[in-house]
A and B are shown apart, each in its own frame.
Chain A
Amino acid sequence: MGNLIKITLIVTISLLLFSGCGMDEKDDEGFELIKDLTILAIKAEPPETIPGTEIALKGLIVDPEKREISSAWFISNDTDLTNNFDIEEATPIDKGEEISFTTPIQRGRYTIFLIANTSPPPLDYDEFLDGEHFITAKEIIISENDRPNRNPVIKDISADPIDILTGNNVTITADADDPDGDELTYAWRSTKPGLEKDHGNMVNWHAPEEPGDYLVYLVVRDKRGGTAWDMITLNVHINKNQSEKEKE
């Protein structure tokens, strides 16, 4: 039994020493930055329901290069994605960014997958894992629960200041609620750098030096599978006084 202890100690120490202890760990430019094709969230409406009912599935697909994207939905009754999971074993449902889906007859937990691919439609189901693609998974619950979980609601997103100049700091605030009173988590994303890390319903964003319109996405989760998202367009412009001075 002493070796149980020895193994655990060796692994734990190795993990701790290598999980960011000053060696050349890969620097993360920011989880918040959307660099490539990404599916930020999947929303199931409702997130928990009874067997044999129709639910709406919708994905939030973002491509910084704004290409024509193919997307398809799959389902699996395997909810442990960490244990030798094989995505190719999942069953296809339908194609498109938004679909309707009739839930299985058998109660339980299922994993829904949305795969987006940069190859334009039409694509066969078995082609979705070829080339540049992105896979997102979400769990849905099929049960006879009297009080099934419901999705949160984002009432408003606002920016302060409203008039955004290049290089300025902006505070973006979200007002969200959960009909079941669940605690919410907030995830902010953007296709341009500038969002700070580790945030709640409020986040700071540093406007770039280049003027233009910038999208910031917000995904709100209730920790029980409920999801909601929204976005805000931030119009950044040059300070008129500054630009006139530069002209002079």
Chain B
Amino acid sequence: MTRLTILKLCCIVILTIVINIPCASADETISSIISGRVMEKGTRRPLGGVNIFILPGERIEITDKNGKFSFDNIASGDYKLAAILLNYKKYGPERIRVKEGEGLDISIYLEKEFVTMMEIVVETKRLKREEISPRELRVEEAKKIAGAGGDILKAIQSLPGAAGGNEWSSELYVRGGGPLDNIFQMDKMFIGNPYHIGGLISTINSDLIKSFDFFAGGFGARYGDIMGGMGGVIDITTRDGRSDRLGGKFDIGFSLSSLQIEGPSGDNSSFFMSGRKSYIELFPIGGEGEDIIPSFYDYQGKWSYDLSEHNRLNLLLYGADDRIVFSTTKRNRKDPVLSSVSSSFDTSFHTQGFSIKSLITPRLVSELTISHAIQTEHFDITQDLFLDARFKEVRIWEELSYRYGRHYLLTGIRGGYGWWEINGRFTRPPKEGQPEYNFTESEKIISNIDEDSFAVGYYLDDSISVTQSLKFILGGRLDRFQPIKETLFSPRTSMFYNIGKRMRLKAAWGYYRQAPQGDEFSEKWGNPDIDSNLSIHYILGIDHDITDAVNLDLQTYYKDMKDLVVRSTDPEEVYCNCGVGYAYGTELLLRHKLTDRFFGWVSYSYSVSKRKDIPGFMWRNFTFDRPHIATIVANYQFTKKWNIGTKWQYAAGSHYTPVAERIYDADADRFIPIYGDVNSRRLPPSHRLDLRTEYKNIYNRWIFTTYLEIWNLYMHRNPVGISYNDDYSESSVERFIPIIIFGGITAEF
């Protein structure tokens, strides 16, 4: 071997070593793992089915339902990683470095290409019992309706058949019924006060509502608790707490703030807790020499637990507290007892309960609900005008549903036992049609009541699919209301007929009872011998799916009212079942359903409602009747961040009773109004345009939403009532604040 040959060989060896040094890691036998999780940006919802790519090597993995992925046997080095999922922005390629022997754990957040409201809808699909006059409103729609302030119960006023009383109130006046004629329930439990401060906003946090149903009339035998029924039904179902991770939301608004926390509490359970508190008390309202300071809070909590595959336990608690402090240095000539007073009003309710839902067989479902509620009220106007009341109730409700063949049976029994204590010296509450409520003139009743009683109701109805096109629902309920020793039977029936694939004819008839109010059947305050009110509903309707997204619904109704509880002409009797009434009307709803970017509707309702208080008296207008209401709602998702909604509503004015004559009381130095025909005049109509806009900023772990609402954009001064001067010689229309602007920031984590 020559020197040259040896030199060549050495060079070759050296070069081989040198060239192979960088490649030594690729051939390294110590491998690593790249793992991680893919979540949706902002909501941190785990995303399954995401394609994860690693280059070089072109390895692909797909995330599981929990968003997790894992690549084994990865050699150390630099790579590029990308994640792709339909409707989401592509992630990467991002550089990653794998160190020898060390694993790499990555969290990836994918941002949606576009936020579609439609997606949210899919999750809330559920099997529902058919009703004749449902006014469907999805939770996500309701929260975006302009003029509702994100309050679902207030959003119902945008639907035909549900009128609002005035500009500030969320109360509902449904087809000739008043605000106390409606049934409110949440998860089959009693809601003490659906509204804060007499109707300002609802006591239920809209973020915790999974779904709600509003029935304007003709509802099935399941509903019709003796404490309501002449009006409509608002049936709320809460959602469960999230089960994937701990999360929450807080909202800081102009007048109140809220905080909610939810998450898993074990393998088979989850919870949520929510609380809201006002701070409007920092800005007292009132004129010169007067202060009105309202304040409130509310809370809701739920714990859900899967006892087994077919049994679910829910524990619920919710409540609310309202307080108004009122003080004035003014002399009140119309109601002297309210001169120079400092008063307080406190009201609260607290409900706790549990429900067990069981899939006994694939066809048989049972739901048992037991709840306990306490409601307290304290009024303190003067030392001679005060009231302390406490009301407790325990309710049990068991419902069974069973499907067999063409039948869908629903049956249940519902009972409640209540205790009440009322102490005080107070006036009788005013009744519908009474023109003015005057503390000074009203009779004061001294109460020391401590009583208890019960009510029980049983119902059964059968939904029969006679043919593929024709369905009947036949049923009824039997109620026993012990305080007035009454047993009542209420038959109900409805019919649904499909005309082709897109049109449906529907009809309903039924008896709807409503027990007298507590003061009406009380021995101390009223007449223990009176009976329940009765309303017989007749409804006919047709709805037509013009396209997949557009639906037209037309309904007409007649309500025949009998045995209405009214003030008796006999002062010893106080109340009697002497009243009769009727209500009829037509409601038209043309609706574009919730799709990717848009939802909205145009509606018109016409109604007439009359009452006759005593046989032989003239028919008169019902106080809460507003014959013409037209509404236009539109909501559009402009970009994935920006949503804007608008609502315009026109409503005929409410009725009022004018002062026809006045008498000067020379001894008391004040004027006494003598009223004319009840509800013979009408306020001017009201109309307003509301706007709501939301802007969403989505970060990996947070979503910030800024919202702004403007009520009454063109500042039309809408009437809310009539006021008179102190001697009743002049009157003027009271008008609401011309414009309200409010907003806030919500942070979700």
Assuming the A-B contacts A6-B193, A7-B180, are A136 and B666 also in contact, with contact meaning beta carbons closer than 8 angstroms in the complex? Answer: yes
A197 interface hit (Cβ, 8 Å): yes
Assuming the A-B contacts A4-B519, A8-B426, are A20 and B286 also in contact, with contact meaning beta carbons closer than 8 angstroms in the complex? Answer: yes
Assuming the A-B contacts A16-B292, A26-B725, A187-B669, are A1 and B522 also in contact, with contact meaning beta carbons closer than 8 angstroms in the complex? Answer: yes
B497 interface hit (Cβ, 8 Å): no
B650 interface hit (Cβ, 8 Å): no
B721 interface hit (Cβ, 8 Å): yes
Q: How far is the CB of B181 from chain A (nearest CB, A)?
A: 10
Interface stretch (choices B115-123, B309-317, B733-741): B733-741
Assuming the A-B contacts A1-B420, A85-B674, are A136 and B663 also in contact, with contact meaning beta carbons closer than 8 angstroms in the complex? Answer: yes
The reply to whether B227 and A3 contact each other, CB–CB distance below 8 Å, is yes
Assuming the A-B contacts A16-B324, A25-B287, A139-B667, are A10 and B179 also in contact, with contact meaning beta carbons closer than 8 angstroms in the complex? Answer: yes
CB closest residue in chain B, given A47: B667
CB closest residue in chain B, given A60: B666
The A-B contact count (CB < 8 A) is 173
Assuming the A-B contacts A6-B180, A20-B290, are A15 and B437 also in contact, with contact meaning beta carbons closer than 8 angstroms in the complex? Answer: yes
Interface stretch (choices A34-42, A100-108, A160-168, A172-180): A34-42
A21 and B284 CA atoms in complex are apart in Å by 10
A137 and B669 CA atoms in complex are apart in Å by 10
Assuming the A-B contacts A5-B375, A5-B377, A82-B672, are A39 and B725 also in contact, with contact meaning beta carbons closer than 8 angstroms in the complex? Answer: no
Q: How far is the CB of B690 from chain A (nearest CB, A)?
A: 19
Assuming the A-B contacts A7-B429, A16-B292, A16-B326, are A135 and B663 also in contact, with contact meaning beta carbons closer than 8 angstroms in the complex? Answer: yes
A22 interface hit (Cβ, 8 Å): yes
**For window 551-574 of chain B, which residues contact chain A by CB distance below 8 Å?**
none
Contact with A along B233-248 (1 / 0, CB 8 A): 0000000000000000
The reply to whether A21 and B198 contact each other, CB–CB distance below 8 Å, is no
Query: Contacts of B437 on A, CB cut-off 8 Å?
Result: 11, 15
B11 interface hit (Cβ, 8 Å): no
Q: How far is the CB of A32 from chain B (nearest CB, A)?
A: 10
Which of B345, B674, B735 has a CB less than 8 Å from the CB of A12? B345
The reply to whether A4 and B518 contact each other, CB–CB distance below 8 Å, is yes
Q: How far is the CB of A29 from chain B (nearest CB, A)?
A: 8
B186 interface hit (Cβ, 8 Å): no
The reply to whether A137 and B663 contact each other, CB–CB distance below 8 Å, is yes
CB closest residue in chain A, given B387: A8
Which of B286, B379, B669 has a CB less than 8 Å from the CB of A22? B286
Interface stretch (choices B63-71, B76-84, B95-103, B329-337): B329-337
B87 interface hit (Cβ, 8 Å): no
The reply to whether A221 and B725 contact each other, CB–CB distance below 8 Å, is no
Assuming the A-B contacts A9-B345, A21-B286, A198-B331, are A1 and B665 also in contact, with contact meaning beta carbons closer than 8 angstroms in the complex? Answer: no
A24 interface hit (Cβ, 8 Å): yes
Q: How far is the CB of A244 from chain B (nearest CB, A)?
A: 42
Query: Contacts of B663 on A, CB cut-off 8 Å?
Result: 81, 85, 87, 113, 135-137
A3 and B515 CA atoms in complex are apart in Å by 11
CB closest residue in chain A, given B228: A3
Query: Contacts of A23 on B, CB cut-off 8 Å?
Result: 720, 734-737
A15 and B429 CA atoms in complex are apart in Å by 12
Contact with A along B259-277 (1 / 0, CB 8 A): 0000000000000000000
The reply to whether A221 and B674 contact each other, CB–CB distance below 8 Å, is no
A2 interface hit (Cβ, 8 Å): yes
B199 interface hit (Cβ, 8 Å): yes
A14 and B326 CA atoms in complex are apart in Å by 12
Q: How far is the CB of B597 from chain A (nearest CB, A)?
A: 39
Query: Contacts of B113 on A, CB cut-off 8 Å?
Result: none
Query: Contacts of A49 on B, CB cut-off 8 Å?
Result: none
A117 interface hit (Cβ, 8 Å): no
Query: Contacts of A29 on B, CB cut-off 8 Å?
Result: 725
A28 interface hit (Cβ, 8 Å): yes
B124 interface hit (Cβ, 8 Å): no
Query: Contacts of B91 on A, CB cut-off 8 Å?
Result: none
Q: How far is the CB of B233 from chain A (nearest CB, A)?
A: 16
Size of chain A's interface in residues, with CB distance under 8 A? Answer: 57
Q: How far is the CB of B3 from chain A (nearest CB, A)?
A: 112
The reply to whether A26 and B193 contact each other, CB–CB distance below 8 Å, is no
CB closest residue in chain B, given A29: B725
B192 interface hit (Cβ, 8 Å): yes
Query: Contacts of A41 on B, CB cut-off 8 Å?
Result: 666
B408 interface hit (Cβ, 8 Å): no
A222 and B324 CA atoms in complex are apart in Å by 36
The reply to whether B429 and A4 contact each other, CB–CB distance below 8 Å, is yes
A17 interface hit (Cβ, 8 Å): yes
Which of B180, B292, B735 has a CB less than 8 Å from the CB of A24? B735
CB closest residue in chain B, given A27: B725
CB closest residue in chain A, given B451: A1
Residue among B227, B345, B518, B666 with the highest chain A CB neighbour number at 10 A: B666
A28 and B723 CA atoms in complex are apart in Å by 11
Residue among B328, B335, B664, B730 with the highest chain A CB neighbour number at 10 A: B664
Which of B292, B347, B438, B664 has a CB less than 8 Å from the CB of A21? B292
A145 interface hit (Cβ, 8 Å): no
Query: Contacts of A6 on B, CB cut-off 8 Å?
Result: 180, 193
B729 interface hit (Cβ, 8 Å): yes
Query: Contacts of B333 on A, CB cut-off 8 Å?
Result: 31
Contact with A along B433-471 (1 / 0, CB 8 A): 000011001000000000100000000000000000000
A21 and B287 CA atoms in complex are apart in Å by 5
Q: How far is the CB of A228 from chain B (nearest CB, A)?
A: 12
The reply to whether A39 and B666 contact each other, CB–CB distance below 8 Å, is yes
Contact with A along B712-726 (1 / 0, CB 8 A): 000001001101111
B389 interface hit (Cβ, 8 Å): yes
Q: How far is the CB of A189 from chain B (nearest CB, A)?
A: 10
Query: Contacts of A134 on B, CB cut-off 8 Å?
Result: 664
CB closest residue in chain B, given A219: B669
A7 and B519 CA atoms in complex are apart in Å by 10
A2 and B517 CA atoms in complex are apart in Å by 8
The reply to whether B666 and A22 contact each other, CB–CB distance below 8 Å, is no
CB closest residue in chain B, given A13: B198
Q: How far is the CB of A8 from chain B (nearest CB, A)?
A: 5
Contact with B along A114-136 (1 / 0, CB 8 A): 00000000000000010000111
A236 and B180 CA atoms in complex are apart in Å by 60
B391 interface hit (Cβ, 8 Å): yes
- A3-B518, A9-B347, A40-B666 known; 13 new pairs, CB 8 Å cut-off, are A1-B391, A1-B420, A4-B517, A5-B375, A6-B193, A16-B324, A18-B721, A19-B335, A23-B720, A25-B723, A26-B723, A81-B663, A138-B667
Q: List 9 A-B contacts (CB under 8 A).
A: A9-B347, A20-B286, A25-B734, A26-B731, A39-B666, A81-B663, A135-B663, A221-B669, A225-B667
Question: Which 10 residue pairs of A and B lie closest in terms of their CB atoms, listed nearest first?
Answer: A1-B518, A13-B198, A4-B518, A7-B429, A4-B519, A1-B420, A26-B732, A82-B441, A138-B666, A5-B377
